[in-house]
Amino acid sequence: MSLVTILPFIVLIGAMFLMTRSAKRKQQQAATMRNQMQPGSGIRTIGGMYATVKEVNDDTVLLDAGPGVELLFAKNSIATVLSDDEYNRIVHGIEHDLKSDADLVPDDASSLTGTDEPAADASADKVDLGKKDAAEEPADAPAEAKPDDAPKKTEGDSESK
C-alpha cells in the first residue's frame, strides 16, 4: 500500500483520539466539581433549577429549593456549582458591586455643570404665552364677551317670517 491510501486512516484515527481525550478531560473536571460540593453551596441542575446543597451522599445530593422544599437528585444531574456572588445575583437579584460609589452617575446634571450655585430666579426664565393667571387678573375687570357666548337660536325662532 502506498502512503496516499494509508494517510486518511491515520488522520481519522488521530482525530478520534483527540476527541475522546478532550471528552474524558471534561468528564473528569465535572466529577471533581461534583465531589467538591459542600452543604451550603449554590448549584444549577442540568434542568436549569437553582438550589442550595443541604446534604451530599455518595451518589445523591439533597437540595433545598425553597422554604420547606427538599429534593433528592443524583450527583450526575448537577450541572455547575456556583460561587456565592453568582448564586445571590441569579436567585436573589443581589448585585455585588465592586466599583466605588464615586463612579455612580448622578440623578441630576448639577455635578456636570461644575457649579453648586442654585439657578437664577426661575421667574426670569418664564415665557409669556399670552395667557393670564387668575391671580394676575383684577377681580373687577369685565369679562370679555366671546363669540361663542352669544345667545343661540332655537328651532322655533326664525328671523324671516
Spell out the residues 6+ positions from residue 10 whose beta carbon is closer than 8 angstroms to its own.
none
Q: What is the pLDDT of residue 52?
A: 92
What is the mean pLDDT of each successive set of 10 residues along the chain, which is 161 residues long?
A: 85 90 87 86 91 91 91 91 86 66 61 60 66 62 56 61 51
Q: What is the pLDDT of residues 76-116, one digit of tens each?
A: 899 889 888 888 888 888 776 555 455 556 667 666 666 65
User: How far apart are alpha carbons 150 and 161 in whole angstroms?
Assistant: 22
- Residue pair 86/42 in contact (Cβ under 8 Å)? The answer is yes
What is residue 74's predicted lDDT score, i.e. its pLDDT?
92
The pLDDT, as a whole number, for residue 127 is 72
